[in-house]
Structure 1
Amino acid sequence: MENPVKPSVTVILPARNEAEGLRRTLPGIHRILPDADIIVVDDGSTDATRSVAADAGARVLSAPYGMGNGAAVKRGARAATGEILVFMDADGQHDPADIPLLLAKLAEGFDMAVGARDRSGQANLQRGLANGFYNRLASWMTGHKVVDLTSGFRAVRADRFREFLHLLPNGFSYPTTSTMAFFRSAYPVAYVPIPVARRVGTSSHIRPLKDGVRFLLIIFKIASLYSPLKLFVPASATFFALGLGYYGYTFHTQGRFTNMSTLLFSAAVIIFLIGLVSEQITNLTYQKGDGGT
Structure 2
Amino acid sequence: MNFSIVIPAKNEEQGLALTLPKLRESYPDAEIVVVNDGSSDGTVAVCQQYEVTVVSHPYSKGNGAAIKSGARAAHGDYIVFMDGDGQHDPADVEKLLYKLDEGCYDMVIGARTGRDDQASLARWSANTLYNRLASWMVNSKIEDLTSGFRAVKRKKFLSFLYLLPNGFSYPTTSTMAFFRAGYSVGFVPIKVSRRLGTSHINVLRDGVRFFLIIFKIGTLYSPLKVYFPMSVFVGGLGILNYLVANLTSGQVRFTNMSTLLLLTGMIIFLIGLLAEQLTNLQYKDSVEEE
TM range (shorter): over 0.9
Tell me which stretches of 4 or more aligned residues in structure 1 moved more than 3 Å: none
Equivalents in 1 of 2:187, 2:52: separation in Å?
Answer: 27
- Choose the corresponding residue for 2:147, options 124, 127, 151: 151
Corresponding position of 2:217:
222
Picking from 270, 277, 281, the partner of 2:278 is: 281
Contact 1:113 1:190 survives alignment (8 Å): yes
Residue 164 of structure 1 contacts residue 289 of structure 1 at CA under 8 Å; is this kept in 2?
Answer: yes
The reply on whether 1:175 has 2:171 as its aligned counterpart is yes
Q: Distance in 2 between matches of 1:61 and 1:17?
A: 14
> 2:16 maps to which residue?
22
Distance 1:236 1:83 in 2: 44
What is the aligned partner in structure 2 of residue 4 from structure 1? none
Gaps of 5+ in 1: 1-6
Q: Quick one: distance in 2 between partners of 1:286 and 1:86?
A: 23
The partner residue of 1:84 within 70, 78, 84 is 78
Normalised by the length of structure 1, the TM-score is: 0.95
Comparing 249-258 with 118-127, which one deviates more in the overlay? 118-127
Query: What TM-score, normalized to structure 2?
Result: 0.96
Aligned position for 1:63: 57
8 Å CA contact 1:119–1:128 kept in 2: the answer is no
After superposition, what is the alpha-carbon deviation per residue over 1:68-115, rounded to whole angstroms, capped at 9, x for unaligned?
000000000011100010000000000000001000111112111110
Q: How does 1:105-116 map to 2 (within 5 A)?
A: 105-109=99-103, 110-116=105-111
2:257 is aligned with 1:231: no
> Could you tell me how far 1:118 is from its partner in structure 2?
1.8
Cα displacement (A) at 1:129 = 0.5
Identify which of 63, 66, 80 aligns with 1:72: 66
What is the count of residue pairs matched by the alignment?
A: 286
The CA distance in 2 between the partners of 1:119 and 1:77, in whole Å, is: 29
Task: Give the letter aligned to residue 44 of structure 1.
Answer: G
- Code of the residue aligned with 1:281 in structure 2: it is L
Residue pairs, 1:69-218, within 5 angstroms: 69-109=63-103, 110-121=105-116, 123-202=119-198, 204-218=199-213
The alpha carbon displacement at 1:212 in A equals 1.8
1:262 deviates by 0.6
How many percent of aligned residue pairs carry the same amino acid? Answer: 57
Aligned-partner SS, 2:23: helix
Matches of 2:58 and 2:246, distance apart in 1: 65
Report SS of the residue matched to 1:152: coil
Q: Could you list the per-position Cα deviations for residues 224-243 of structure 1 after superposition, in whole angstroms to 9, with x for gaps in the alignment?
A: 11000111001000101100
Matched with 1:259 is 256
